[in-house]
Structures are given as structure tokens and as C-alpha cells.
Amino acid sequence: MRDLTTEASNPASAAIDSLPTIEMLQVINAADQEVAPAVARQLPNIAAAVDAIVARFEAAGRLFYLGAGTSGRLGVLDASECPPTFQTPPELVQGLIAGGDHALRHAIERAEDDPEQGKQDLIARGFSPRDALVGIAASGRTPYVLGGIDYARGLRALTIGLSCTPRSELAEKSEIPITPVPGPEIVTGSTRMRAGTATKLVLNMISTGVMIRLGYVFGNLMVNVQPTNSKLADRARRIVSTVAEVSYEQASSLLDRAGSVRLAILMHKCKLSKSEAEIRLAAAHGSLRRALEIL
């Protein structure tokens, strides 16, 4: 453990407990500014992961995140954000955490130490060779995650290893390694900080990049948004108003008739009935841009 980057002592914070509050926060902020460049150095591998996941989705596969502690919580968070943001079915992107959902709020001691449980949690979700697995472990050595990766490799599923330690075991076991290395934590070993931030940035890129490639974003607008509350309903109306070039009130009427942002836009811009718009959108595999380009 002492040789892991995530366990190393950061000289910049060696006396952080003796600093005035503003200087303490400046040290933390300066360290945080090193996270994004660490992620930037991994962009080619992140891009490879996005394209490989898209290929799995197009072959009826799914995406799973597997992690323990902070890593597991970040995976569950990213997965849970996909349905409301992109209107994906909840089973398309799934997050698994060592110790189960109870571990989202409570530390489950030793849950991360069981490689067999990583395998069993995937089996319980019906993980298959068509699927993709992102194993998440800041240290790159969490047994729960490695057990899941070994199982996925045995099935010849896509394996992606996200860790924050150079030449980690997780990276070596994974088909696509993603290894941002932001360096030692300000509080030694507290990987919820810099490693956690790097992990969150990468997961944001993976899920958002995949959804953009699948056509769930038009321009920079989330045209698959579900108007499930007042904020999202207002956003949906504004998106329809912008893309269809109609008033807010007309957009509201279009949404009421269409039932979705994409159909509302198609119906107006292509002068289609709802059933005709549904057929065209299906022919474009759900991509609004491709549907608008169909002659």
C-alpha cells in the first residue's frame, strides 16, 4: 500500500493543519487544479471507451459500473442520472457498489475485499458477453472490482479499468485502461478528494459522450429529457421552442400533442403526424438529427 500514489503523502499539505483557514483552502484549491490536466492526458483512452460502449449498445448490450466506497458511489450516481437526463431505460446503465445499496449511505466494512462478490453481483444482474463493464478503483487493486473484471473478461465482455494509480492491477487486467493520476491527496489516502474528482470527470465524459454518439443530444441540448417535474418541463418547452423556432406557448402545445421533445420537433419541422414522426424517429434509431435529415 505504501507504494501507491493514492497512499503517498503530499508535501504541499504537510503542515495544512497549522495554516489559517484561507491558506488551507488555497492549498486544497491549488491541488484540485491539477485534476483536469490529469484527466486530459487520458482523453484518447476515454474516447476509445466511449466508442466501444456505443458499439455494445448498438448490439443490445448494457453498461455497468462496479466499485466500492467512493468509487462505487460515483458509479451509482452517474448511472442514476442517465434516465432523467437522456430518457434511457434504467437497465441500460447500471451502478453496482460493494455491500449493496445500503453502502451508498453507510460504510460496509470488508465488503470491498471479496472478489467473488463482484462476480456474483454481476451474475445477479444478468451480465452477458454483449455488455460493457467499467471497474472503478482509485487504488486499482480493490478485490471486489478485480473479481468483477476477471468474470467479465472470462465472458469476453468489454472491460474498462478506471483507476488513479500508474500501472495498476486493474489497468493491466482491463481491455481499455483509463488512468488519470492527479497525485497524492491533500489528506493522505482520502481518495474521495482528488481521485474522486478525477473519477467523476471521467464518468461524466463516458456517459455523456456515449449519449451524444447515440444521438440523444441535438447541438448541446438534451432532446431526450423527461419533463417529470416543473424544472424539466420548462426546459423541454424551451428546447422545443429553440429547435423548432416557435414561441414558448406553441412549444407547450406541441409537447402536449407529441408527448416527447424529439417528436414535437419532428412533427413541426417536417409537418408530420405523431405516428409519422414516430416511424421516422425509429428509422433514425432515435437520433433527432438523422431523423431531420431523412428525405
- 3-class secondary structure, 115: helix
Q: Which of 159, 166, 165, 161 is nearest to 178 (CA)?
A: 161
Q: How far apart are CA 11 and CA 155, in angstroms?
A: 44
Q: How far apart are CA 238 and CA 261, in angstroms?
A: 10
Q: Which of 148, 146, 113 is nearest to 131 (CA)?
A: 148
Q: Which of 137, 285, 178, 194 is nearest to 10 (CA)?
A: 194
User: Cα dist. 193→34, 39, 198, 274 in Å?
Assistant: 12, 14, 9, 48
HSE at residue 283, side-chain half, CA atoms within 13 A, is: 13
List of residues 6+ apart from 12 with CB closer than 8 A: 27, 30, 31, 186
Q: How far apart are CA 34 and CA 294, in angstroms?
A: 45
Enclosing H/E stretch for 196: helix 194-213
Does 169 participate in catalysis according to the annotation? no
Out of 112, 175, 185, 278, the active site residue is 112
Out of 7, 34, 81, 276, the active site residue is 81
Active site residues: 81, 112
